[in-house]
Structure 1
Amino acid sequence: MFWEDVFKLVLAMILGGLVGLEREITNRPAGFRTHTLVCMGSTLVMVTSMHLFRLYHDIVNLDPARLGAQVISGIGFLGAGTILKDKARVRGLTTAASLWVVACIGLAVGAGLYGVSIFVAVLAYVTLILLKKMERFLKQRLEIEEIELDIRNVPGQIAKVTECMGRLNVQIRDIKIEPTDEPWVQTKFYVMLPRGMKREELMEELKTVEGVEIYTEED
């Protein structure tokens, strides 16, 4: 039994490290060591829970999944620490999700579900590596345009821009804003143009919006 528990912990270390390796390479808040420790820790919790169940199930009514359930809910605090607000964007959601996944993998390893845990770890790694490339490929195929504007720094000004784009059936995929106390704020819109519309047509329409200037390198 001891060596089986050792095997579980080593396997958890490997699987958690596999997922964390991608996060480490991309320089995310929680990387290789964090994912490894989370996976090993959740495995230890599950192993402990199962041992307690075998020891005391004849004496008291025990639920072997109870400690594991606390891991699932408790990992949210660690995941929340990886979510950062970067100016107008929120970063770290994928890292928080990967931490939650490795915690679940650790519980599966602790329960003896070796095949399933290995399969999920591989799927998680594929998701982090290959699907990121697929996202970039889809963005290229979708022909997402980057529109850079100088917008007057007053309440409701961005709403005027989005309203103008909405009338033209332009899909807004993302907005990046550089916070400033200056009268004008530099803003980037990532949009998908409707079929048949050219970028120049959109720019001409945006010029008609009060409080908007088209950003150029000369400016």
Structure 2
Amino acid sequence: MRFLQTFQLYDFLDTLVSLLTAFVLGTLIGAERQYRQHSAGLRTNVLVAVGASAFVDLANRLNGAEGSVRVIAYVVSGIGFLGAGAIMKEGMNVRGLNTAATLWASAAVGCCAGADMVAQAVLLTLFVLGGNTLLRPLVNAINRIPIDEQSSEASYDVLVTADTGSVASVRELLLEKLEAASYPVRDVDVVYRSGDHAEIAATLVSESIQADELDAVVASLEGQPGVRHATWNVRALE
């Protein structure tokens, strides 16, 4: 049996340490995600960390450090596809970016463990946990600060709810009203909410916005044929 010929206890124990390190550290990261009820929780982060560690360790056994570097490059790009599956767009909101970034970091922890850099893997885990926990109060505090529309970097959206059969005409009317108010549009997104109505969202290009002017545009849209509701909002740019 070739297994008996190639088996080396030292290499086996070294691999065991790498996988066990990735498992424990991935558990720490995943437990925090699971506690906060994120889509990628305990098992996902553990499997990402252990999988990355296994691939890097295998490459190191077969082709040394050069093989590990190649595999790490593929792990980085491969985890990008996995993280993309965790990102969801709901209307004008995007969810899952933090989850995708955490999966990426879990893969980095696994790569460190697979490359026998246990201390670095532990250090990276501490930074990941710190980013997801210690920074949360700061994020909440910043989010509670009122946005100064005149000075902040923000994105402005004009939202119109229209009948499904009137989407095209309402969209053209919205663009005409904004152009007349000297507010060019960067993008227009149409989201069909149900069989009888849709939401038209126009994202503006202008950086200097006058609230009363947008109020006037919205008011002029109210009552137009096919328009159910019109409003506008402001979002801080990420």
Structure 2 segments unaligned to the other structure (5+ residues): 1-9, 150-157, 163-169, 184-190, 202-207, 223-228, 232-238
Does the C-alpha gap of structure 1 residues 111 and 185 become closer, same or farther in structure 2, counting only changes over 3 Å? Answer: closer
SS at the partner of 1:64? helix
Note the alpha carbon deviations across 1:52-92, whole angstroms, 9 max, x for none.
135xx9xxxx6332222221222222112111222332211
Deviation digits for residues 96-148 of structure 1, max 9, x if unmatched?
Answer: 11111111111111111122111111111111122232111012134579xxx
- How do residues 21-36 of structure 1 correspond to structure 2 at under 5 angstroms? 21-36=31-46
2:26 pairs with 1:16: yes
Give the Cα–Cα distance (whole angstroms) in 1 for the partners of residues 34 and 179 of structure 2. 37
CA 1:70–1:25: 2 relative to 1, 3 Å: same
Structure 1 CA distance, aligned partners of 2:112 and 2:176?
47
1:151 aligned residue: 160
Q: Structure 1 residue runs of 4+, over 6 Å off?
A: 161-164
TM-score (norm 1): 0.68
Alpha-carbon distance in 2 for matches of 1:24, 1:136: 20
**TM-score normalised to the size of structure 2?**
0.63
Assess, with a 3 A threshold, how the Cα gap between structure 1 residues 205 and 11 changes in structure 2: closer, same or farther. same
Residue 101 (structure 1) aligned with residue 113 (structure 2): no
| Cα distance in 2, alignment partners of residues 163 and 125 from structure 1 | 50
Closer, same or farther in 2 for the Cα pair 1:179/1:144, shift >3 Å?
farther
Give the equivalent residue in structure 1 for 2:216: 208
1:17–1:4 Cα change, 3 Å: same
* Cα distance in 1 for residues equivalent to 2:134 and 2:176: 36
Q: How far off is 1:186 after superposition?
A: 9.9
Conserved? CA contact 2:60–2:67, under 8 Å: no
- Please state if 1:40 is matched with 2:50: yes
Q: How does 1:50-89 map to 2 (within 5 A)?
A: 50-53=60-63, 63-89=67-93
Percent sequence identity is 29
Residues 161, 230 of structure 2: 8 Å contact kept: no
Query: Matches of 2:176 and 2:138 in 1, distance apart?
Result: 31
**Cα separation, partners in 2 of 1:144 and 1:137, compared to 1, 3 Å:** farther
Instruction: Show the counterpart of 1:191.
Output: none
Which deviations, in whole Å up to 9, do the C-alpha atoms of 1:172-204 show, x marking residues without a partner? xxxxx89456678598xxxxxx9xxxxxx94x6
Give the Cα separation in 2 of the matches to 1:163 and 1:22.
50
2:128 corresponds to:
124
In 2, Cα distance between the equivalents of 1:93 and 1:159? 34
Change in CA separation of 1:99 and 1:65 when aligned onto 2, cut-off 3 Å:
same
Matched residue SS, 1:29: coil
Distance 1:67 1:214, change over 3 A: closer
RMSD: 3.8
